Amino acid sequence: MNTTNDLSALLAEDRILTMPCCYDALSAKLIQQAGFPLTFMSGFAASASRIGQPDLGLMSYGEVRDHAQAICDAITIPLIGDGDTGYGNAMNVRRTVAGMAKAGCAAVMIEDQVAPKRCGHTPGKEVVGREEAFDRVRAAVDAREAGADILILARTDARHSHGLAEAVDRAAKFAELGADILFVEAPKDEVEMRTICSELPLPNMANIVEGGETPDLPPEVLHEIGYKIVAYPLSLMAASMKAMMETLEALHQGKPRGHLIMEFGELRDRIGFGEYYEASETYASSRRS
């Protein structure tokens, strides 16, 4: 199994890749079970899930890599990992990219925000200067060329503080430096989205946050505009949190919860109990236990 090759093959297809984002191994497993061909480890959702904190650069490189490896161990579809700013200078970026490849990621995202980074749809984010941004992508590509089996997703948040033209210029340079996928974060409307896709080469990714700055256009419209991937970074986490809060309220009130929760048999099956028991039957010692 080589998920990097699988991701490259998906990018070569003439279709939009709808990509629900995961926040842990179980959510990634459910994405695969639902038939989606790839997923992304959302930094926002992973930070909330793993440490119960906002996506403001609080998770360390080691925590992020460990989280990505746990997800990769649970699925066979390609995972794009969130490498944030690379966790330091260009040499740290190289280590981050190599580490995410060893964890099993098919691609890693490296961005140009000032560290500590912020969620792309929250206030206060800033970007580093052009040369530092280019060095990050250059270092990521160097890590790939040195043997890391991984694709590079290069992200710019320059639209927020420097305008769309600067964001497009940065992304074009990222492509020139060898990035495999481009991501201009938080365009404000469909006109800006069309400008991005018409002026930039390579596969482009759209990022749709419900209630965020970018319009939530249907996948077929995004495909017509020119996007290759559409990521939904918070859909699953927001849905699961809403369901949990409703269930907690029902518990507070002593009300039945059957209509709010998954049936126990399906729960076991989706987690993998059935597969475990089937495999364990091939071992006599397991059957006796």
Residues 196-222: pLDDT tens digits? 999 999 999 999 999 999 999 999 999
Share of the chain above pLDDT 70, in %: 96
pLDDT at 91 > cutoff 60: yes
Report the Cα 87 to chain-centroid distance in Å: 17
Q: What pLDDT sits at residue 285?
A: 75
Fold for domain 3-235?
Answer: TIM Barrel (3.20.20)
Q: What is the pLDDT of residue 121?
A: 61
What pLDDT does residue 69 have? 98
Residues contacting residue 59 through CB under 8 Å, at least 6 positions apart: 43, 46, 47, 50, 51, 53, 67
- Residue 100, pLDDT above cutoff 70: yes
Collapsed DSSP state (helix, strand, coil) of residue 75? coil
Residue range 180-193, pLDDT digits in tens:
999 999 999 999 99
Domain with CATH 3.20.20.60 in the chain: 3-235
Digit-coded pLDDT (tens) for 11-49: 999 999 999 999 999 999 999 999 999 999 999 999 999
Strand order in the sheet with 107-111: 181-184, 151-156, 107-111, 79-82, 39-41, 17-22, 229-232, 205-207
Report the chain's mean pLDDT, rounded to a whole number: 95
Of 116, 121, 109, nearest to 39 by C-alpha is 109
Which letter does DSSP use for residue 113 in this model?
B
Per-residue pLDDT band at 122 (split at 50, 70, 90): low
Average pLDDT rounded to a whole number, residues 57-75: 97
289 pLDDT more than 60? no
For residue 77, pLDDT beyond 80: yes
DSSP states of 260-286: TS--HHHHHHHHTHHHHHHHHTT-HHH
What percent of the chain shows pLDDT beyond 90? Answer: 92
Cβ distance 41 to 80 under 8 Å?
yes
Q: What is the pLDDT of residue 288?
A: 60
pLDDT band at 287 (very low <50, low <70, confident <90, very high): low
- Listed in sequence order, the residues at least 6 apart from 30 whose beta carbon sits closer than 8 Å to its beta carbon are 236, 270
Is the previous residue joined to 116 through a cis bond, with omega within 30 degrees of 0? yes
Residue 284 pLDDT: 75
